Structure 1
Amino acid sequence: MRFADAIRWFFALPDPAVDRLAMTPIQLSNDAHRRKLRTPFGRAMIRYHILLESIPHRVRALVGILWRATAGRRIWIKRADFAETEIATMRYVANHTDIPVPRVWFSFKWGNCEYIVMDRITGITLFDALRGGYLQDGNKQDMIAGQLARHMAQLRSLAPPPSSSISSVLGGPVRCPRLFQDPLYGPTAPAPLTGPFKSEATMNLQLRHLHNLETCIPVVVAAHSTAHPLVLTHNDLVPRNIMVDHAIGKVVAIIDWEYAGWFPAHWEICMMINWEEQSVGLGWRGWISRILPRHELTYAQELEADASLLKALWVPEHHA
């Protein structure tokens, strides 16, 4: 063996006679792996590289364990795309109702992301409780549904702002995946801001993708010709955002208020049914009939109109 070949073999250096530019990334990776294995300490070298690559993951795992064992037992840090408005909504609800919401301590920005520091909520989501079969007891179901009904009644009792604008609690734009989706964001990205809408008619125009009302089917014409009062709407009131203590049948918190704002009174049920597919098999419609105020359950034509627009046009990509 020539000296140069011996050096290449010992240090796992590539063969200069091989045209590496013609090799694919996978071929290059396999070639490097084979060269390392042929060295006197090849297997040790590979184990060393694997160890180096695993260090960041091990550090993150260790930090996660330490966090959960200390401050993480009481504090939850949420990455938020609409932090200022979500914080304002939670504090508004906490100050004007008895609805349990996470207590916010502060928020901060790190890089391009915003974070909210709040109390960690004990318990599990209603989704997990239903999926896990933890609410077979009808009495506990009744207790949770009754509490949610009282919370929704309180939310609806709050007086709307004097204007007819559909907006956040701060009077600014809202974030709603049903009302606007920028094509650049893609289907799985957070919904960008939209509105505020100066009136329900403007919001309806956006839902129709700027089509004239006269060109729509009768149920849409009827629903979009009816004026509805503005109410404070969670806008994402689904089982994954309801925290419960299933052992005692108690609602411990309603979370994720980033989509909330002042919306027409029928909008909550439209989002709870037409936009929520994950909980269909968990009897969610039966829960809705027990949670929402009775008059909101009469919005059958609005529900049908929204479902038809969603099926025919999907989500608006232009502002009205």
Structure 2
Amino acid sequence: MSQSNNDSSFLEYMTIDRHYTFTPTTFTKRQVRPSEYTLRNDGTVAKSHFERERLENERDALIFIAENSSIPVPRVLEWSDIDGVGSLTVERIRGDSFSVVYDTLEPSDQAKLERNTLSYVEETLVPQLQSLRSTKMGQLAGIVIPPVRVSCLDDRPQWEARTSTTSRYVYCHNDITTNNIIVDPVTLTVNAIVDWEYSGFFPKEMEFPFWKKSQEESLEEEHCYKMIELLDAPGDPPVAQQPWAVSDFSFKSLWLMLSWIKIRSSRILSVIFSSLGFPNAFRA
């Protein structure tokens, strides 16, 4: 959810699991209170997995990214917990989402915005994220929260935090859509990347290129099932057996044995040819 807006006045609205508040200088995202729950037709509460954990992860991610990269992110101002309801307040970024700004521009400026954004994402944002590595898969707190495109097909309540003997997991935002790229409507450059709820250390293939594909493409079942396979894959893939391979010791032993046979054979042949009157026919 983009946290910027051209209207600087006070604004608030709510979704199934989040309450959002804008002021001229701040943006607050909090869990919904029990009194605000949305009920389904059957009377059950409409809730999603990891509602609290995702908000805590965004708080931790904003601090982590600010300390370990040059990627512009909102500065964390306050975290509160009142009666079990978490609330995160950050600075409000100037500008608006790529999607909103793009629709206000002339074709030539739209092309410029596309070039600037694509260049930043592919040459700065993603490389910096992928330079942050870990031997353990998952969010900074140690749990695994898969992105929405995975949970829409597999809503298991818990995922295994797989580990590797190498730092094969890279930091992924997991939701770099045009709604989460805040740009300056004047300079047409990127001001910040927002909404880090699903970010964490994952196989690099998890960073789906939303920035140049449609939302529909990102939800194709083939792609989503591939993401599930990546999450379930062992941290250290099994090494294929190579029955034809020999150890270094065995190879050296075999080489020495063949060399000895060649030398002995050469001497035997030399004796045989010499006895037949051809002393120079064979030389070891």
Q: TM-score, normalised by structure 2?
A: 0.55
- Listed one character per residue, the Cα deviations across residues 123-179 of structure 1 (whole Å, up to 9, x for unaligned) are 110111233345632334322322222122111112x22x3x321123222242233
Aligned to 1:154: 128
Q: Which amino acid counterpart does residue 263 of structure 1 have in structure 2?
A: F
Counterparts of residues 51-200 of structure 1 (less than 5 Å): 72-79=23-30, 81=51, 82-111=54-83, 113-133=85-105, 136-137=108-109, 138-149=111-122, 150-158=124-132, 160-161=133-134, 163=135, 165-180=136-151, 194-198=158-162
Change (3 A) 1:271 1:72: closer
Distance 1:197 1:246, change over 3 A: same
Within 2, Cα distance between the matches of 1:134 and 1:157?
36
2:139, 2:200 within 8 Å by CA — same for their partners in 1? Answer: yes
The question of whether the paired residues in 2 share the 8 Å contact of 1:174 and 1:196 is answered with no
Shift of 1:193: 5.7
Work out whether 1:236 is the aligned partner of 2:175: yes
> Which has more radius of gyration?
2
Q: CA deviation at 1:270?
A: 6.5
Question: In 2 relative to 1, CA 144–153 (structure 1 residues): closer, same or farther, beyond 3 Å?
Answer: same
Cα displacement (A) at 1:195: 2.3
CA RMSD in angstroms comes to 3.9
Q: Is the 8 A contact 1:167 1:195 kept in 2?
A: no
Aligned to 1:308: 222
Matched, 1:266 2:201: no
Give yes or no for contact 1:180–1:194 (8 Å, CA) kept in 2: no
Letter in 2 for 1:197: A
For the residue of structure 1 that corresponds to 2:121, the secondary structure is: helix
* Helix, strand or coil at the partner of 2:192: strand
Deviation at 1:309, TM superposition (A): 6.0
Residues in 2 aligned to 1:181 and 1:315: alpha-carbon distance in whole angstroms: 11
Partner Cα separation in structure 2 for residue 154 and residue 135 of structure 1: 30
1:240, 1:134 → 2: CA distance? 19
* Matched residue, 1:292: none
Residues 124 and 270 of structure 1, relative CA distance in 2, 3 Å threshold: closer
Instruction: From 189, 213, 229, give the equivalent of 1:250.
Output: 189
- Contact kept? 1:274, 1:307, Cα under 8 Å: no
SS of 1:308's equivalent?
A: helix
Q: How far is 1:308 from its partner?
A: 2.1
The structure richer in helix per residue is 1
The 3 A distance-change label for structure 1 pair 249 and 274 is closer
Q: Which residue of 1 aligns with 2:36?
A: none
Q: Secondary structure at the match of 2:63?
A: helix
SS in structure 2 at match of 1:78: strand
Question: Secondary structure in 2 aligned to 1:249?
Answer: coil
**Structure 1 unmatched runs, 5+:** 1-63, 184-190, 201-226, 281-302
The amino acid that maps onto 1:151 is: L
Determine if contact 2:59/2:76 at 8 Å carries over to the other structure. yes
User: By how many angstroms is 1:271 displaced?
Assistant: 6.3
Aligned residue type for 1:153? P
Aligned amino acid, residue 74 of structure 1: T
The whole-number CA distance in structure 1 between the counterparts of 2:163 and 2:75 is 32
Count of matched residue pairs = 191
The answer to whether the Cα contact below 8 Å between 1:83 and 1:107 also exists between their aligned partners in 2 is: no
Task: Assess if the C-alpha contact under 8 Å between 1:228 and 1:264 holds in 2.
Answer: no
Q: Residue by residue, what CA displacement relative to the aligned partner does 1:173-230 show, whole Å, maximum 9, x if unpaired?
A: 22422333599xxxxxxx7864243159xxxxxxxxxxxxxxxxxxxxxxxxxx9942
Structure 2, unaligned runs of 5 or more: 1-7, 13-21, 32-50, 234-284
Secondary structure of 1:174's aligned partner: coil
2:108 aligned counterpart, secondary structure: coil
